[in-house]
Protein backbone atom coordinates (compact mmCIF):
# COMPACT_ATOMS: atom_id res chain seq x y z
CA UNK A 1 0.00 0.00 0.00
CA UNK A 2 1.34 3.45 -0.80
CA UNK A 3 2.37 5.13 2.45
CA UNK A 4 2.59 8.71 1.27
CA UNK A 5 -0.56 10.79 0.91
CA UNK A 6 -0.55 12.79 -2.27
CA UNK A 7 -3.06 15.50 -3.01
CA UNK A 8 -4.00 15.70 -6.66
CA UNK A 9 -6.44 17.80 -8.61
CA UNK A 10 -7.59 16.64 -12.03
CA UNK A 11 -10.10 19.06 -13.53
CA UNK A 12 -11.66 18.16 -16.89
CA UNK A 13 -13.73 20.94 -18.44
CA UNK A 14 -15.47 21.23 -21.77
CA UNK A 15 -18.96 22.00 -23.01
CA UNK A 16 -20.10 18.44 -22.22
CA UNK A 17 -17.69 17.28 -19.52
CA UNK A 18 -17.97 19.77 -16.64
CA UNK A 19 -15.58 18.58 -13.95
CA UNK A 20 -14.06 15.78 -11.91
CA UNK A 21 -11.46 15.74 -9.19
CA UNK A 22 -9.48 13.09 -7.30
CA UNK A 23 -7.08 13.09 -4.36
CA UNK A 24 -4.87 10.88 -2.21
CA UNK A 25 -4.18 7.22 -2.99
CA UNK A 26 -6.64 7.30 -5.90
CA UNK A 27 -4.42 9.80 -7.70
CA UNK A 28 -1.49 7.39 -7.31
CA UNK A 29 -3.60 4.54 -8.71
CA UNK A 30 -4.53 6.67 -11.71
CA UNK A 31 -0.86 7.41 -12.29
CA UNK A 32 -0.07 3.69 -12.20
CA UNK A 33 -2.82 3.04 -14.78
CA UNK A 34 -1.39 5.71 -17.07
CA UNK A 35 2.12 4.31 -16.73
CA UNK A 36 0.95 0.80 -17.63
CA UNK A 37 -1.07 1.98 -20.61
CA UNK A 38 1.84 4.00 -21.96
CA UNK A 39 3.81 0.79 -22.47
CA UNK A 40 1.23 -1.41 -24.18
CA UNK A 41 -0.37 0.82 -26.82
CA UNK A 42 0.09 4.33 -28.15
CA UNK A 43 -3.67 4.88 -28.49
CA UNK A 44 -5.75 4.57 -25.34
CA UNK A 45 -9.54 4.90 -25.36
CA UNK A 46 -11.41 6.31 -22.36
CA UNK A 47 -15.18 6.15 -22.11
CA UNK A 48 -16.68 8.81 -19.86
CA UNK A 49 -20.35 8.67 -18.84
CA UNK A 50 -22.49 9.80 -15.88
CA UNK A 51 -21.64 6.61 -13.93
CA UNK A 52 -17.86 6.89 -14.26
CA UNK A 53 -14.89 6.37 -16.56
CA UNK A 54 -13.82 3.12 -18.23
CA UNK A 55 -10.81 2.27 -20.33
CA UNK A 56 -9.89 -0.79 -22.38
CA UNK A 57 -6.63 -1.20 -24.27
CA UNK A 58 -4.88 -4.17 -25.90
CA UNK A 59 -1.16 -4.49 -26.47
CA UNK A 60 0.02 -4.42 -30.09
CA UNK A 61 0.19 -8.24 -30.25
CA UNK A 62 -3.39 -8.56 -28.95
CA UNK A 63 -2.16 -10.90 -26.20
CA UNK A 64 -3.08 -8.75 -23.18
CA UNK A 65 -6.06 -6.52 -22.38
CA UNK A 66 -6.32 -3.97 -19.59
CA UNK A 67 -9.84 -3.02 -18.52
CA UNK A 68 -10.29 -0.22 -15.98
CA UNK A 69 -13.52 0.96 -14.40
CA UNK A 70 -13.54 4.07 -12.19
CA UNK A 71 -17.02 4.89 -10.93
CA UNK A 72 -18.10 8.17 -9.39
CA UNK A 73 -17.10 7.00 -5.88
CA UNK A 74 -13.47 6.99 -6.99
CA UNK A 75 -13.52 10.77 -7.44
CA UNK A 76 -13.83 13.55 -4.88
CA UNK A 77 -16.19 15.36 -7.25
CA UNK A 78 -17.77 13.91 -10.35
CA UNK A 79 -20.37 15.50 -12.64
CA UNK A 80 -20.95 14.17 -16.16
CA UNK A 81 -24.19 14.21 -18.14
CA UNK A 82 -23.18 12.64 -21.48
CA UNK A 83 -21.11 9.72 -22.79
CA UNK A 84 -17.93 10.32 -24.77
CA UNK A 85 -15.03 8.38 -26.24
CA UNK A 86 -11.63 9.97 -25.68
CA UNK A 87 -8.51 8.75 -27.51
CA UNK A 88 -5.06 9.73 -26.26
CA UNK A 89 -1.57 9.16 -27.74
CA UNK A 90 -0.46 7.99 -24.33
CA UNK A 91 3.20 7.31 -25.10
CA UNK A 92 3.62 11.02 -25.80
CA UNK A 93 1.55 12.01 -22.77
CA UNK A 94 3.50 9.75 -20.40
CA UNK A 95 6.82 10.97 -21.83
CA UNK A 96 5.76 14.46 -20.77
CA UNK A 97 4.34 13.48 -17.36
CA UNK A 98 7.37 11.36 -16.41
CA UNK A 99 9.87 14.20 -16.83
CA UNK A 100 11.71 15.30 -13.64
CA UNK A 101 9.84 18.59 -13.30
CA UNK A 102 6.49 16.78 -13.40
CA UNK A 103 6.71 13.34 -11.79
CA UNK A 104 10.40 13.25 -10.99
CA UNK A 105 10.52 9.49 -11.40
CA UNK A 106 8.02 8.89 -8.58
CA UNK A 107 4.87 6.83 -9.14
CA UNK A 108 2.56 9.60 -8.05
CA UNK A 109 0.61 12.49 -9.49
CA UNK A 110 1.63 15.96 -8.22
CA UNK A 111 -1.02 17.86 -6.25
CA UNK A 112 -1.05 20.73 -8.70
CA UNK A 113 -1.41 18.85 -11.98
CA UNK A 114 -4.52 20.03 -13.83
CA UNK A 115 -5.97 18.31 -16.90
CA UNK A 116 -8.57 20.12 -18.97
CA UNK A 117 -10.57 19.45 -22.13
CA UNK A 118 -10.19 22.41 -24.45
CA UNK A 119 -12.17 21.95 -27.68
CA UNK A 120 -10.35 19.09 -29.49
CA UNK A 121 -7.30 19.13 -27.25
CA UNK A 122 -6.45 17.91 -23.75
CA UNK A 123 -4.06 20.13 -21.83
CA UNK A 124 -1.85 19.08 -18.91
CA UNK A 125 -0.86 21.96 -16.66
CA UNK A 126 1.65 21.64 -13.83
CA UNK A 127 2.08 24.29 -11.14
CA UNK A 128 0.40 26.87 -13.42
CA UNK A 129 3.77 27.19 -15.15
CA UNK A 130 4.28 24.20 -17.44
CA UNK A 131 1.52 23.36 -19.90
CA UNK A 132 1.29 20.99 -22.85
CA UNK A 133 -1.66 20.07 -25.07
CA UNK A 134 -2.36 16.85 -26.98
CA UNK A 135 -4.70 16.19 -29.88
CA UNK A 136 -7.82 14.32 -28.80
CA UNK A 137 -10.30 12.39 -30.94
CA UNK A 138 -13.35 13.48 -29.02
CA UNK A 139 -16.86 12.38 -29.97
CA UNK A 140 -20.12 11.28 -28.40
CA UNK A 141 -20.88 7.55 -28.48
CA UNK A 142 -23.74 5.22 -27.60
CA UNK A 143 -22.13 1.83 -26.97
CA UNK A 144 -19.87 0.45 -24.25
CA UNK A 145 -17.38 -2.41 -24.59
CA UNK A 146 -19.04 -5.85 -24.14
CA UNK A 147 -18.61 -7.82 -20.92
CA UNK A 148 -16.24 -10.81 -20.76
CA UNK A 149 -17.93 -14.18 -20.30
CA UNK A 150 -17.08 -16.13 -17.16
CA UNK A 151 -15.10 -19.28 -18.07
CA UNK A 152 -13.06 -19.72 -14.90
CA UNK A 153 -12.84 -22.85 -12.75
CA UNK A 154 -10.23 -21.55 -10.29
CA UNK A 155 -10.27 -18.37 -8.18
CA UNK A 156 -7.28 -17.38 -6.05
CA UNK A 157 -6.36 -14.35 -3.93
CA UNK A 158 -2.65 -13.63 -4.25
CA UNK A 159 -1.04 -11.56 -1.48
CA UNK A 160 2.25 -9.63 -1.25
CA UNK A 161 2.51 -8.48 -4.86
CA UNK A 162 6.04 -7.16 -4.33
CA UNK A 163 7.26 -10.62 -3.33
CA UNK A 164 5.51 -12.20 -6.31
CA UNK A 165 7.30 -9.72 -8.58
CA UNK A 166 10.64 -10.85 -7.13
CA UNK A 167 9.77 -14.49 -7.80
CA UNK A 168 8.70 -13.67 -11.37
CA UNK A 169 11.91 -11.72 -12.00
CA UNK A 170 13.90 -14.71 -10.76
CA UNK A 171 11.96 -17.12 -12.97
CA UNK A 172 12.37 -14.79 -15.93
CA UNK A 173 16.14 -15.26 -15.61
CA UNK A 174 15.49 -18.95 -16.33
CA UNK A 175 12.82 -18.67 -19.04
CA UNK A 176 10.40 -16.29 -20.78
CA UNK A 177 7.32 -18.39 -19.97
CA UNK A 178 5.80 -19.60 -16.72
CA UNK A 179 3.51 -22.52 -15.86
CA UNK A 180 0.69 -21.82 -13.40
CA UNK A 181 0.07 -25.03 -11.41
CA UNK A 182 -2.85 -25.43 -9.03
CA UNK A 183 -4.04 -28.70 -7.55
CA UNK A 184 -4.85 -30.11 -4.11
CA UNK A 185 -4.90 -26.58 -2.62
CA UNK A 186 -1.28 -25.98 -3.67
CA UNK A 187 -0.16 -23.26 -6.06
CA UNK A 188 3.22 -23.00 -7.78
CA UNK A 189 5.00 -21.23 -10.62
CA UNK A 190 7.30 -23.28 -12.84
CA UNK A 191 9.68 -22.64 -15.74
CA UNK A 192 11.50 -25.03 -18.03
CA UNK A 193 14.82 -24.20 -19.66
CA UNK A 194 15.82 -26.97 -22.05
CA UNK A 195 15.40 -30.02 -19.82
CA UNK A 196 15.86 -28.14 -16.51
CA UNK A 197 12.85 -27.24 -14.35
CA UNK A 198 12.68 -24.44 -11.81
CA UNK A 199 9.69 -24.20 -9.45
CA UNK A 200 8.58 -21.66 -6.84
CA UNK A 201 5.89 -22.77 -4.40
CA UNK A 202 3.77 -19.75 -3.44
CA UNK A 203 1.00 -21.60 -1.60
CA UNK A 204 1.80 -19.55 1.54
CA UNK A 205 0.96 -16.34 -0.38
CA UNK A 206 -2.42 -17.43 -1.74
CA UNK A 207 -5.96 -18.13 -0.61
CA UNK A 208 -7.75 -20.53 -2.95
CA UNK A 209 -11.49 -19.91 -3.05
CA UNK A 210 -12.38 -22.25 -5.88
CA UNK A 211 -10.44 -25.03 -7.60
CA UNK A 212 -12.66 -27.53 -9.38
CA UNK A 213 -9.99 -29.06 -11.63
CA UNK A 214 -6.19 -29.43 -11.63
CA UNK A 215 -4.76 -26.44 -13.47
CA UNK A 216 -1.62 -26.34 -15.64
CA UNK A 217 -1.40 -23.43 -18.08
CA UNK A 218 1.54 -21.54 -19.62
CA UNK A 219 1.71 -17.72 -19.82
CA UNK A 220 4.25 -15.05 -20.71
CA UNK A 221 6.23 -13.90 -17.66
CA UNK A 222 6.93 -10.47 -19.16
CA UNK A 223 3.26 -9.45 -19.38
CA UNK A 224 2.38 -10.63 -15.87
CA UNK A 225 5.48 -9.09 -14.30
CA UNK A 226 4.97 -5.67 -15.88
CA UNK A 227 1.31 -5.48 -14.84
CA UNK A 228 2.01 -6.43 -11.22
CA UNK A 229 5.12 -4.24 -11.05
CA UNK A 230 3.13 -1.13 -12.01
CA UNK A 231 0.66 -1.65 -9.15
CA UNK A 232 2.79 -3.28 -6.42
CA UNK A 233 2.94 -0.10 -4.32
CA UNK A 234 -0.77 0.68 -4.44
CA UNK A 235 -2.32 -2.77 -3.99
CA UNK A 236 -1.59 -5.57 -1.53
CA UNK A 237 -3.73 -8.26 -3.15
CA UNK A 238 -4.60 -9.41 -6.68
CA UNK A 239 -7.33 -11.93 -7.51
CA UNK A 240 -6.54 -14.56 -10.15
CA UNK A 241 -9.29 -16.23 -12.18
CA UNK A 242 -8.13 -19.18 -14.27
CA UNK A 243 -9.20 -22.23 -16.20
CA UNK A 244 -7.05 -24.94 -17.77
CA UNK A 245 -5.60 -23.78 -21.12
CA UNK A 246 -7.73 -20.60 -20.94
CA UNK A 247 -6.90 -16.86 -20.56
CA UNK A 248 -5.73 -15.55 -17.20
CA UNK A 249 -7.72 -12.78 -15.51
CA UNK A 250 -6.04 -10.71 -12.77
CA UNK A 251 -8.22 -8.25 -10.84
CA UNK A 252 -7.31 -5.34 -8.55
CA UNK A 253 -10.00 -3.72 -6.42
CA UNK A 254 -10.24 -0.44 -4.53
CA UNK A 255 -13.21 1.73 -3.55
CA UNK A 256 -14.85 2.80 -6.80
CA UNK A 257 -12.10 1.15 -8.87
CA UNK A 258 -11.77 -2.18 -10.68
CA UNK A 259 -8.68 -2.96 -12.78
CA UNK A 260 -8.73 -6.18 -14.83
CA UNK A 261 -5.81 -7.63 -16.76
CA UNK A 262 -6.49 -10.47 -19.23
CA UNK A 263 -3.71 -12.52 -20.81
CA UNK A 264 -3.98 -15.17 -23.50
CA UNK A 265 -2.42 -18.57 -22.70
CA UNK A 266 0.54 -19.99 -24.60
CA UNK A 267 -0.08 -23.13 -26.62
Q: Are 51 and 72 in contact (CB under 8 A)?
A: yes
Q: Which domain holds residue 240?
A: 154-263
Residues 49, 72: Cα–Cα separation, whole Å: 10
Q: Are residues 101 and 158 in the same domain?
A: no
> In a 10 Å sphere around its CB, with 0-12 CB exposed, 13-18 middle and 19+ buried, how is residue 174 labelled?
middle
The answer to the question of residue 173 being in a domain is yes
Q: Are residues 120 and 224 in the same domain?
A: no
Q: How many residues does the chain have?
A: 267
**Is 119 inside a domain boundary?**
yes
CB 140 within 8 A of CB 254: no
User: Which residues neighbour 149 within 8 Å (Cβ) at sequence distance 6 or greater?
Assistant: none
Between CA 35 and CA 91 the distance in angstroms is 9
Query: Which domain-ending residue is among 110, 140, 170?
Result: 140
| pLDDT tens per residue across all 267 residues of the chain | 443 333 344 444 444 444 566 566 777 787 788 888 877 776 677 887 888 888 888 887 888 888 999 998 888 777 667 776 777 777 787 778 777 655 544 544 555 566 676 667 777 777 667 888 888 765 444 433 444 445 677 889 999 999 999 999 999 999 999 999 988 889 999 998 877 889 999 999 999 888 777 889 999 999 999 999 999 988 999 999 988 888 999 999 999 999 999 999 997
The answer to whether residue 8 is domain-embedded is: no
Amino acid sequence: MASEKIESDFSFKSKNIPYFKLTGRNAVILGDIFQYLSNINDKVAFICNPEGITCKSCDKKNAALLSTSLNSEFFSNYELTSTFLINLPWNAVWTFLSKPLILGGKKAIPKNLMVKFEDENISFEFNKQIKKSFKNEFREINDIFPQTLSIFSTTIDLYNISQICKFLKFLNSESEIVLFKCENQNFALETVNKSEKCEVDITHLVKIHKNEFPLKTWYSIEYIFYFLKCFEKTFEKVTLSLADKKPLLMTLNATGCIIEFSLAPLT
